[in-house]
């Protein structure tokens, strides 16, 4: 389905609802992907009574691809519009990678409305680049180089990132799937979302989260170091850290069975 989030701009939403008493999980994907990255969750979680709702962030997947609107605030606003439109209550908000940062911003900006639990998965938190209060990210120079590569040769960059994304070789077909998801996005949207990740941070948002929070993070994450997850856990009162010993940055794909089990345990606890 398509939901208008701003005048003339719609986002694509997948809604897998196994029944009237289903617990809702609202998925927010990361850069450079779309909702299809959660296929290994959608295949399983509805069998256990979970309603899985996922949106393609503007500029990605099947959503509209406007020139503007790629700040953390605006992307959090899009989440709010979709939750309101679907009248979702007491959901688990699950944010992956930069989708984790956007979800954190949503929780502070909207005081956690509609949300009863938060799941942060390999989240870009507290920041993508190194800065005071968040020393474990990439350097600003490395981040700017990523953006330069997107201007010069996006397919080549996506191929390179696919090799860094996972902790082990998942085969050519999976890497091609990853690259295809990236190429289904507008290149300028990927650039602008990366620019937002370089420019923004969620350091001041973390202390405003008031719901039970699970932090799921791959030990071998090359893109967002595990130490960032530990720092995030320290900043969110009462949160719990779930380390994944055999994952890099692509845990929902490369360690899907373990992730699904831990996620369900967290939701049901």
Strand partners of residue 11? 3
Specify the number of domains making up the chain.
1
Q: Which residues contact 221 (CB under 8 A, 6 or more apart)?
A: 122, 229, 247, 248, 249
Question: If pLDDT is split at 50, 70 and 90, which confidence band does 137 have?
Answer: confident
Q: Quick check: helix, strand or coil at residue 30?
A: coil
pLDDT digits over 160-194, tens only? 999 999 998 999 999 999 999 999 999 999 999 99
Question: If pLDDT is split at 50, 70 and 90, which confidence band does 20 have?
Answer: confident
CATH of the domain at 71: 3.40.50.1820
What's the order of all strands across the beta sheet hosting 115-121? 2-6, 9-16, 50-55, 23-28, 91-96, 115-121, 213-218, 240-244
Evaluate if residue 13 carries a pLDDT over 90: yes
Closest CA to 46 of 73, 21, 85, 18: 18
Q: What is the pTM of this model?
A: 0.97
Q: The tokens 């091609």 sit on which residue?
A: 176
Question: If pLDDT is split at 50, 70 and 90, which confidence band does 80 have?
Answer: very high
Q: Are 259 and 216 in contact (CB under 8 A)?
A: yes
What range does the domain containing 186 cover?
A: 2-268
Each residue of 247-256: b (16+ CB within 10 Å) or e?
A: bbbbbbbbbb
Gap between the Cα atoms of 182 and 187, Å rounded: 8
CA neighbours closer than 13 Å in the CB half-sphere of residue 49: 7
Question: If pLDDT is split at 50, 70 and 90, which confidence band does 60 have?
Answer: very high
More confident call, 20 vs 251? 251
Both tokens assigned to 157: 């960059």
Residue 197: alpha-carbon gap to chain centroid: 12
Gap between the Cα atoms of 254 and 118, Å rounded: 21
Catalytic sites, residue numbers = 97, 221, 249
Residue 230: predicted pLDDT: 97
Strand partners of residue 134? 131
Gap between the Cα atoms of 134 and 113, Å rounded: 27
Crossing angle of helices 187-199 and 98-109, in 10° steps, is: 60
Q: The tokens 């617990």 sit on which residue?
A: 23
């Amino acid at each position: 389905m398509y939901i208008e989030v701003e005048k003339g701009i719609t986002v694509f939403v997948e809604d897998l609802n196994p029944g009237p008493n289903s617990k809702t999980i609202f998925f927010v994907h990361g850069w450079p992907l779309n909702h299809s990255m959660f296929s290994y969750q959608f295949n399983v979680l509805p069998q256990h009574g979970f309603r899985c709702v996922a949106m393609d962030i503007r500029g990605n997947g099947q959503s509209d691809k406007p020139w503007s609107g790629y700040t953390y605030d605006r992307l959090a606003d899009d989440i709010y519009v979709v939750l309101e439109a679907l009248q979702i209550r007491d959901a688990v908000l699950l944010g992956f990678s930069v989708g984790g940062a956007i979800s954190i911003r949503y929780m502070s900006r909207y005081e956690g409305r509609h949300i009863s639990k938060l799941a942060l998965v390999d989240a870009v938190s507290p920041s993508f680049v190194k800065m005071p209060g968040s020393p474990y990210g990439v350097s600003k120079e490395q981040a700017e180089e990523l953006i330069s590569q997107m201007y010069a040769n996006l397919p080549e960059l996506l191929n390179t990132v696919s090799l860094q994304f996972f902790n082990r070789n998942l085969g050519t077909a999976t890497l091609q799937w990853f690259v295809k998801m990236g190429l289904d996005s507008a290149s300028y949207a990927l650039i602008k979302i990366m620019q937002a990740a370089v420019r923004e941070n969620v350091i001041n948002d973390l202390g405003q989260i008031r719901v039970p929070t699970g932090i799921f993070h791959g030990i071998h994450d090359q893109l967002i170091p595990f130490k960032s997850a530990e720092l995030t856990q320290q900043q969110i009162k009462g949160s719990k850290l779930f380390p994944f010993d055999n994952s890099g940055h692509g845990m929902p794909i490369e360690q899907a069975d373990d992730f699904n089990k831990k996620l369900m345990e967290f939701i049901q606890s």
